[in-house]
Structure 1
Amino acid sequence: MPENVTIPEQGREGLSLPSPINMDWTYPDRDVPHPVYLLVYGPSSPDHTWRDLHWSVGWQPAPDAWRHIQVDTYDVKTDPAPQPRYVFWGTRTQSAGDGDESAAHLPLGTLDREQRRKIEALAWETPVMYPNGDWNCQNWVRGLFEKMVEAGIVSQQTVDEVVTRAETAHGALPGR
């Protein structure tokens, strides 16, 4: 198994493109409790395993928006190696409809804004690794889950149940 080595600046070091658009100014995350989910997105090809599915932590600050905590794939051949790589740009809000409705929504709990802000802060403490053919977004989300459990935001039992469901639900997810 390849060794995991942290990539500087959550993968952002040396990149030429700006972060994806964040629409939190349009859909602010208000001070009300929201259900928070592990979102598991369907595969991009029919030949897949559960390791090929994209994982994201998210909630809906408004009916037509999702706030995501995730790593993204970045692949600009003219930027410094390694390419492609994973990047954490920070938490961002997007309009609904980018596949969120077809993702599996696995509940982590209903959390208040202070708890959600703590998750956002913990995401900055969750390292992104150099690409090695093994580490991916699922490993990053699992690292975030460890920090969430340590902070008392979610229970280990909830995380274990959600991860088990995510690992076994891939056959039921529609293709992207």
Structure 2
Amino acid sequence: MSEPTVTVIPDQGREGLSLPSPINMDWTYPDRDVPHPVHLLVYPPSSPEHTWRDLHWSVAWQPAPGAWRHVQVDTYDVKTDPAPQPRYVFWGTRTSSTDESTEKAAHLPLGTLDREQRRKIEALAWETPVMYPNGDWNCQNWVRGLFEKMVEAGLVEQQTVDKVVKQAEIAHGALPGR
């Protein structure tokens, strides 16, 4: 059996979309120039049948109590927009209020990084391509691609990434909803 084709989608998946990006609350919760722990967030499954490959991953940190700054791709599905639908989209890093799903997510530590290092993660995210949907590629592949760039840039150690990814794979059974 052949591997699914992986092709880069233009403009981080944003090309031709009718809806604006999700709300970014970084004006309310600015990312100040202090070190913050950075995590891989692994969100609980939406149904018990999901495997660990179905779980949403996000690289995130808390710029302030009650808020998280997320580096992630989102699923976008507006049937009247150009194909492919659904697709993954990177809108850019954004800050949101803490919600129940973020609280229930597994918080796997990548390290404590200063603001300049976190800004580098944000820049590397723009260099991490989003792919056309193919039934295999998902947000976890995108985060793994970002991790490769973070290791190359010296922001995290490969050993730390390997440990966190392994924890994410086994966290599936321990997350709420399982």
Query: Unaligned 5+ residue runs, structure 2?
Result: none
Q: Deviations over 1:111-155 (max 9, x none)?
A: 000000000000000000000000000000000000000000000
Mapped pair 1:161 → 2:163: yes
Aligned residue in 1 for 2:43 = 41
1:106 to 97, 105, 108: 108
The CA RMSD over aligned residues, in Å, is: 0.9
Aligned residue in 1 for 2:175 = 173
SS in 1 for 2:39: strand
Mapped pair 1:54 → 2:69: no
Aligned length: 176
Q: Deviations over 1:42-64 (max 9, x none)?
A: 00011011001000000000011
Aligned residue in 2 for 1:149 = 151
Tell me how far apart the structure 2 counterparts of residues 121 and 48 of structure 1 sit (CA, whole Å).
Answer: 32
Aligned-pair identity in percent equals: 86
Mapped pair 1:24 → 2:26: yes
Aligned residue in 1 for 2:93 = 91
Aligned residue in 2 for 1:135 = 137
**TM-score normalized by the length of structure 1:** 0.99
SS in 2 for 1:175: coil
CA apart distance, 1:175: 2.3
CA apart distance, 1:98: 4.5
SS in 1 for 2:131: coil
2:72 to 66, 70, 73: 70
Counterpart AA for 2:137: W
Aligned residue in 2 for 1:116 = 118
Query: Unaligned 5+ residue runs, structure 1?
Result: none
Q: Deviations over 1:81-137 (max 9, x none)?
A: 000000000000000115111000000000000000000000000000000000000
